[in-house]
Structure 1
Amino acid sequence: MPTIQRTVRTNTPPGVVWDYLSDFTTTAEWDPNVVRTVRLSGQGGPGSQYECTNNFFGVRMTLVFTVVHDDPPHVLRLEGEGANMRVTDTIELSRQGDGTQVAYTSELRVRGLPGLADPLLGLPVVNLPFKKLGDDAERGLRAALDRLPSPVPDLPNGVGDLHVATVVLDVQDMTRAVAFWCAALGYRPREYEPDPDFMMLDDPRDRHVTISLQRASQPPTEPVRVHLDLYTRDQEGHVDRLVGLGATRVPDWPYPADPDFVVLRDPDGNEFCVIDQS
């Protein structure tokens, strides 16, 4: 049976390469012989199915691939079934320094041939067209992997899990504010938010940061400013770290005291909250 084997090395780390290649729909991006690939079912793990349309020596051919083995981030194996062909594709990843080595193997079995004919397809002369398929895929795969974005660099020591969770706006009329921001951005209020003085609005597409509306205790004497809520499981440690970086505590915060909230000002006087998420 014809077998296509190629090895590609890239400076892109294994985790990034796996995330890309384990989504089998990306074959249409790196294999010039693939016209389109769509996922039919599943989330990419074992049992997931993909419909792959190929340009096979000038003839359109459709195969349905099923993920039969999934060992992140090392091995992905799929079985493809078409009208005249069966294919087994195996993608194996191994770390090479800071980069990745990808071993790609595609085993093809042609239906409808006598039993003795299948071995003939493995002969060098007969296998030349399949070699071209492999060469095309190798070039496309190498280019695609080298184009993948670099991973986020290591964060400075001490940052840990501290992150922006929501942008908070002080409002006077909660009903009016919810209606305005939902209409303006297409956001939706969280149904399970029980506090009438605090409402979180989420992007239904899950693409952008949450907006929180907080009822102000008194009318503002100056234009209302936005502040950040930073969530962490190490509130005390991060408060000490941030104070060491130049932040100052706000002793006269005009809202009810809450031990889970610590309000700080950055060196420019902008207020933000460090919230205990533990």
Structure 2
Amino acid sequence: MLQGIDVSSYQSSDYDTDGLAFVFIKVTEGLSYVNPTWVAQRQTARDAGLVVGFYHYPHIDNDPVEEADYFLDQINLMPGDIIVLDWEWYGQDVSDESARAYRAAWLTHVKTKAPGHKIGIYSDRNNWRTVDTDSTVGDFLWIADYVRAGAPRIAYDWTFHQYTDEPLDKNVADFPSLDALRQWAGTGTSSPCEPFPGADWFRDEPDSPIVTAMGRRLVAEGCSAYTEGPSSQWTDADKLSYQRWQRKLGYSGTDADGWPGPASWDALRVPKI
């Protein structure tokens, strides 16, 4: 079995990757929270060559499609990235039926928006045994049960097992090798992206949802210069944010002037509207 961890804002962005094959990173919760360190945590995983998964913590009373889109809007999905619904709702006064309905709708919508990526759920053993009724897991089950690694007390086939939270959440994956895990995860395809609309398009002061989607990607990449927004109207804040993105990619001088070009645009991967 392979070793991995999962991290949220409670963990450092430069966590120790020695001996790890994979990491799951919390990105969003509900419709208003984004983990402020997730981009840096993702970079640590990418730099170490780990298989990377991203998860969303739901607020069950919200629209699952809206929450799914909010989650996906944050992420620059790459082939082989794994997607997880953290199927928990502590402190939320919701029925078991609502929790099951949310799960089904979220998984279905995300599978449609991110075709080919492995999409599954995280569940603790109690919810799995008492709330689940039809084993709706998408592509895989990540089960939490704090017992011996690789021996969760459930009958259903599992792919990942969280076996302790001391000193942090530790997991194993049921694969014989890292190559096997990568092959399983690597069938994913990147989400459809907006093609580069042309340099003159931005200079003509566009008012377009593409500008909003671009701004959200810049925020997700840690390049925000926004005091509010982003909005559909191209502003100086968009230009400054894009300049930060260009510099993050290594551009300088006139190549980092804040006006989008085809190479930096393709790297940003703005989701298709």
TM range, smaller chain: under 0.3
Q: Which has the larger Rg?
A: 1
In terms of fraction of residues, the more helix-rich structure is: 2
TM norm structure 1: 0.20
TM norm structure 2: 0.20
